[in-house]
Each structure stands twice: as structure tokens, then as C-alpha cells.
């Protein structure tokens, strides 16, 4: 493995509730490199119908990061996406180019509200698929309906959705429902991508190494390779996973 791939990160400065400054972004990139990460998808929040940052602004900020933090971004490549909050206007925003897919592929990182029902999540993801996108459900461990009934995740995967969990969920206490949920999905092969969902250099920081060690110990090197490199490379090629 050439390093790790972080599919979910809020390191671009001043765009959402993630990094607040270029200095903080520098610290996050240094942390990422130390954790073994070599490619990051920057995923600033997007919610259609609210006050949002334009695609042009996001691209400008990334260009500024690359120019200002040349040494750091040579070590850790940063590519673009959005963390898209699903609502009735989200797909229209994507069609108009007002929101981002991941690196201009068909893949989109989609989140729902924590207390949305399973039917709301399933129908939303179905609409994404019917519109020609390949949805990745962001931080699956946050949705109460799924944690309560983990078998429902299999229905979403059969629909054509891919599942992302946060590294923090893997390392929680044994009796933590979210941690138990994450490990149940890993054991059943229902996880396709991993992300730090990092929002800063002090709180909600870039952490991956310990969770990777846990995955390797419990589930083997092959799964770690697939989740942290092989699947993301297939995604960047705009192909569905094998």
C-alpha cells in the first residue's frame, strides 16, 4: 500500500466548520502525513437551499492551499468533493454544477440527519442512483435507525450504495453501540470506504494509524488494503467497485 486514503475531511480553511485558517490546515496536513495518509478528499459541507460556498470559491481555496503549503501538499495530495446533505434540491444542485462530486467522478458523499428514518435514507439514496450518481453514505454509524437495526445496511448496499464509516467509530469502547455497529459492518463486508471526518488540528483531529492497526489485527491486511487504497483508486477511475 502506498499510504492511506482519507475520503472524508474538512481541512480547507474558512469554508465550513472545519479548519479556520491556513495555519490550521498546515497542521492538519502534517498530522495526516504522520498518520500515513497520502491522499485526502476535502469535503466541505453543502446543503442546497441554504447559504453555501460556491464551487469556484472552493477551487480557489484549494489553489491557495496548494500554493501556500506547497511542501505539505506535495506529500499529501488534496482532491475535491463535498459532503452533501440530502434534500429535495441536492440533485438539482449537482446537475447545475453548484455542488461537487468526488474528483469529478459519478461518486458523491451523501449525509442525512442523524434521526432520519430508514425510509428517508433509502429513498434519498435511490434518487441519487436513479440520477446517475454513485452514492457513498457518509459516517453510517451516525444514523440511529441503522445502529438500531444493522441488517438494514445490507439493503442499502444491495440497492447500490457504498458505505463509509469514520475511523473514530472503530476505536470506541467495546460496549459503545456505534463501535459495535462499525465492527459488525466490517465483519460482514459492508464497509467500502474509511474517513477521518477531521475538522481541525486540536479537536476532531486527523487520526487513522491506530484504527488501521485494529482493522489489520481483526480482519486482515487484505481488507485494510481494499478499504484504504484499492477501493478509492477504483472510485477515482469512475468505476464501480468489484
Domains of the chain: 4-236 (3.20.20.140)
Mean pLDDT value across the chain? 96
Predicted local distance difference test score (pLDDT) of residue 126: 98
Alpha helices (H) along the chain: 22-34, 55-68, 70-75, 90-95, 118-130, 144-148, 151-159, 167-170, 177-187, 209-219, 221-225, 231-236
Cα 82 from chain centroid (whole Å): 9
What is the rounded distance in angstroms from the CA atom of residue 141 to the CA atom of residue 163?
10
Q: Which residues pair with 175 in a beta bridge?
A: none
User: CB neighbours of 195 closer than 8 A, spacing ≥ 6?
Assistant: 6, 7, 8, 9, 41, 138, 139, 164, 165, 166, 167
120 pLDDT band, cuts 50/70/90, is very high
| Count of CB atoms situated within 10 Å of the CB of 100 | 24
User: For the chain, what is the largest distance between any 2 Cα atoms, rounded to a whole number of angstroms?
Assistant: 46
User: CB neighbours of 189 closer than 8 A, spacing ≥ 6?
Assistant: none
User: CB neighbours of 175 closer than 8 A, spacing ≥ 6?
Assistant: none
Predicted local distance difference test score (pLDDT) of residue 2: 82
Rounded to the nearest 5°, which phi and psi values hold at 84? Answer: -95, 120
**Is the predicted pLDDT of residue 1 greater than 90, yes or no?**
no
40 three-class SS: strand
Report whether 26 contacts 76 (CB < 8 A).
no
User: How many C-alpha atoms does 224 have within 13 Å on its Cβ side?
Assistant: 21
Tens digit of each residue's pLDDT (9 = 90 or more) over 126-169: 999 999 999 999 999 999 999 999 999 999 999 999 999 999 99
Predicted local distance difference test score (pLDDT) of residue 210: 95
What is the rounded distance in angstroms from the CA atom of residue 30 to the CA atom of residue 46?
26
Tens digit of each residue's pLDDT (9 = 90 or more) over 175-230: 799 999 999 999 999 999 999 999 999 988 899 999 999 999 999 999 999 999 99
What is the rounded distance in angstroms from the CA atom of residue 177 to the CA atom of residue 106?
32
Amino acid at each position: 500500500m502506498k499510504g492511506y486514503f482519507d475520503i472524508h475531511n474538512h481541512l480547507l480553511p474558512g469554508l465550513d466548520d472545519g479548519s479556520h485558517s491556513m495555519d490550521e490546515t498546515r497542521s492538519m496536513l502534517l498530522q495526516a502525513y504522520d498518520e500515513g495518509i497520502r491522499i485526502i478528499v476535502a469535503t466541505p459541507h453543502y446543503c442546497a437551499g441554504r447559504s453555501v460556498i460556491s464551487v469556484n470559491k472552493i477551487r480557489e481555496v484549494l489553489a491557495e492551499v496548494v500554493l501556500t503549503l506547497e511542501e505539505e501538499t506535495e506529500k499529501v495530495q488534496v482532491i475535491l468533493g463535498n459532503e452533501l446533505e440530502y434534500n429535495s434540491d441536492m440533485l438539482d444542485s449537482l446537475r447545475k454544477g453548484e455542488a461537487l462530486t468526488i474528483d469529478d467522478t459519478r461518486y458523491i458523499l451523501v449525509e442525512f440527519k442523524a434521526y432520519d428514518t430508514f425510509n428517508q435514507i433509502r429513498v434519498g439514496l435511490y434518487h441519487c442512483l436513479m440520477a446517475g450518481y454513485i452514492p457513498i453514505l457518509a459516517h453510517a454509524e451516525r444514523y440511529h435507525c441503522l445502529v438500531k437495526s444493522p441488517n438494514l445496511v445490507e439493503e442499502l448496499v444491495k440497492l447500490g450504495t457504498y458505505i463509509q464509516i469514520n475511523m473514530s467509530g472503530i476505536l470506541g469502547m467495546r460496549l459503545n453501540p456505534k463501535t459495535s455497529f462499525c465492527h459488525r459492518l466490517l465483519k460482514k463486508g459492508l464497509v467500502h470506504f474509511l474517513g477521518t471526518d477531521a475538522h481541525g488540528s486540536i479537536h476532531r483531529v486527523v487520526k487513522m494509524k491506530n484504527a488501521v492497526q485494529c482493522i489489520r489485527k481483526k480482519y486482515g491486511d487484505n481488507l485494510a488494503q481494499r478499504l484504504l487504497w484499492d477501493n478509492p483508486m477504483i472510485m477515482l477511475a469512475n468505476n464501480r467497485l468489484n
